[in-house]
Structure formats: structure tokens, C-alpha cells
Amino acid sequence: MSATPAGPARITVLDFARMHADGERIAMLTAYDHPTAELLDEAGIPAILVGDSLGQVLLGYDTTVRVTMEEMLHHTKAVVRGTRRALVVGDMPFLSYATPEEALANAGRFLREAGAQAVKIEGGVRSARIIEALVKAGIPVMGHIGLTPQAINALGKVRVQGRSREEARALLHDALAVQEAGAFAVVLELVPAQLAAAITARLRIPTIGIGAGAGCSGQVQVVTDVLGLGSFVPRHARPYADLRGTILAAAQAYRADVEAGAFPGDAQATRMDDAILDEVLGRGAADRDAVTGAADVAGGIPLDRDL
């Protein structure tokens, strides 16, 4: 008998390559928690990124720079537990891959402790050596170039990358460096659509765009943007639901019902045998017959006023 439980097989980086070779566009989303991951998996999303956008989206930090390894691992574990089929990619947080040794130790934790199947690393040419070390160790890596939010303090602000001749050339070099280092895919964030399409055409590995136009091999979006849960919708996102409105209306309706005494109703309450309660409260038939006044307790059971 096999020790492996039956069930749908998890998508691997090899499936990712096959999907790309077959010309399938890859729909990727971020997730940070168990119930959302479960729904994305059920919806057939093939790859889930536990992005360090966690910091801003869920934890209320101002940038991703504040996110720690422990926070990333905690949320990656929840996402892995919520999925059976999706490829789960853990996002290596700021300074967790500054040297090959640190990168190996931390990426290893994503796979071994959290159960992710791959990691994502920001940076092109500057991160190639790290990507190579991880890939050599058997850790699949997704690259991330263009806008790299962990470098926000060096970049100054969130803006499209690659509009100028120099930036476009640098981005092309970055893409090739990530591919040659052995990454299985590369995220292109906030890159002009024509440049992203040109990079995609020159690479063997799939490009996953966010704010990089329709010419990429796939797309990734922050799940709260797609669900309409964030307080602000970036220009590159399209909300497919209005969870913010739905949650607000639900919370207001709940509050109104509680305040009006309309919740819980009979359907949300449980009942017991009244005779048992009467007995416990000293209001049963035996108690009514008992001589009262001499003692406050009938049959050893405390009366209403003693409870």
C-alpha cells in the first residue's frame, strides 16, 4: 500500500513550464490565510504567491520592508494547509537573502517548515548569484524585476520601471540574468506593456506580469485588489467583487440586529427540557410541595435567588 494519500496532485514547476509551452496563460493570485487559499484552490488558481505584500495588505505596515521571516512563514503555513493543488510560492522578505548562505537557510525554511514548493526573490542581475545558489540546492525560484518594492527606500517612490532607454536595457539584462540563473519564472512589476511583451518574447521561462500589460505569459494580482477588499485600488488592478462593501453592510446589519434584540433568533439558539431546568432551579413539582421557609434550599438544590 502506498504511504501517499490519494488526491489531486499538486502543480509543480514542471507543470508551470508545460503550461507555458502549451501557450496557457497563467492566472496567479496572492493569498495570506487559510480560507482564502482554500477558495483560490477550489477556483482552480494554479499558483498562489504568499507575497510580502502581506505587510501592507494584512498587517498594516507602510512598506514590505518591515515584514519578517517569522511572519512570512506563519502565513505561508496557513496557505499551504488551505491548498491541495496550487503551487505555493513563498516570498523571501527583505534582507532574508542578502548572502547565498542566508538565502539557502531561509528558502529552506519556506520549503521545509512552511511546505511551500518555491520561493520568490526580488532583483535581476544583482540577485542572479543568489538565485543560482538556491536552484543548485534544488529550490525552485521565481524572479521579480521591474518595480521591486523591497528597494523602495532606494527607489524613492512606486513608479513604472523601464521607460527610459537605460532602464529598458537594464531590465532586459535583468530578465536574462534571472533566466540564466535558473529561475522557473519571473515577475515583471510595473513595466511598460511593450517592453514586458518584448522581454516575454525573448525568454524561455514564463513572465508573470503585474502592471505590465497583457503580453506577459501570465498575470499575478494582490488578492485583496481583485476582491475589492482594499481601501485603494491600484491602476493595474480590476476588482471582480466588492468585498469591502459586502463586509461593511454585513457588519452594520449584524450590529443593528444585536442592538434591536433581533439576533440571535430561535434558529441560532438551543433549548433544553424545561422540566430539567425547573428541577435545577428548585421550581419542580417536588419543590412546590416542600415546606418552605425553614430552609432556603429544597432537596439540596439552590433556589432562584441563591444562583
Asked if 234 contacts 224 with a C-beta cutoff of 8 angstroms, the reply is no
For residue 170, give the nearest of 191, 141, 140 by alpha carbon. Answer: 191
30 counts as binding ligand KIV under rule CB under 6 A: yes
> Which alpha helices (H) appear in 22-161, and where do they start and end?
34-42, 54-57, 69-82, 100-112, 128-136, 152-155
Query: What single-letter amino acid sits at 199?
Result: I
Cβ atoms within 10 Å, residue 98: 11
SS (H, E, C) 108-169: HHHHHCCCCCEEEEECCHHHHHHHHHHHHCCCCEEEEEECCHHHHHHHCCCCCCCCCHHHHH
52 counts as binding ligand KIV under rule CB under 6 A: yes
Segment lying near ligand KIV (by CB under 6 A), choices 49-57, 124-132, 224-232, 281-289? 49-57
168 counts as binding ligand KIV under rule CB under 6 A: no
Q: What angle do CA 226, 231, 232 make, to 5 degrees?
A: 70
* Residues of span 211-270 touching ligand KIV by CB under 6 A: 220, 222
91 counts as binding ligand KIV under rule CB under 6 A: yes
71 counts as binding ligand KIV under rule CB under 6 A: no
Closer residue to ligand KIV (CB): 147 or 298: 147
Helices 34-42 and 69-82: crossing angle in degrees, nearest 10, is 40
83 counts as binding ligand KIV under rule CB under 6 A: no
For residue 87, give the nearest of 143, 140, 25, 20 by alpha carbon. Answer: 140
**Residue 133 CA from chain centroid, whole number:** 26
Closer residue to ligand KIV (CB): 177 or 220: 220
210 counts as binding ligand KIV under rule CB under 6 A: yes
187 counts as binding ligand KIV under rule CB under 6 A: yes
53 counts as binding ligand KIV under rule CB under 6 A: yes
Please pick, among 38, 167, 189, 259, the residue that the annotation labels catalytic.
Answer: 189
* Residues of span 141-160 touching ligand KIV by CB under 6 A: 144
Whether 189 is catalytic: yes
Please count the residues of this chain forming the interface with ligand KIV, following the rule CB under 6 A: 12
Q: Residue from 46, 51, 218, 230 that binds ligand KIV (CB under 6 A)?
A: 51
Segment lying near ligand KIV (by CB under 6 A), choices 15-23, 48-56, 99-107, 268-276? 48-56
Active-site residue numbers? 189
Binding region for ligand KIV (CB under 6 A): 30, 49, 51-53, 91, 144, 187, 189, 210, 220, 222
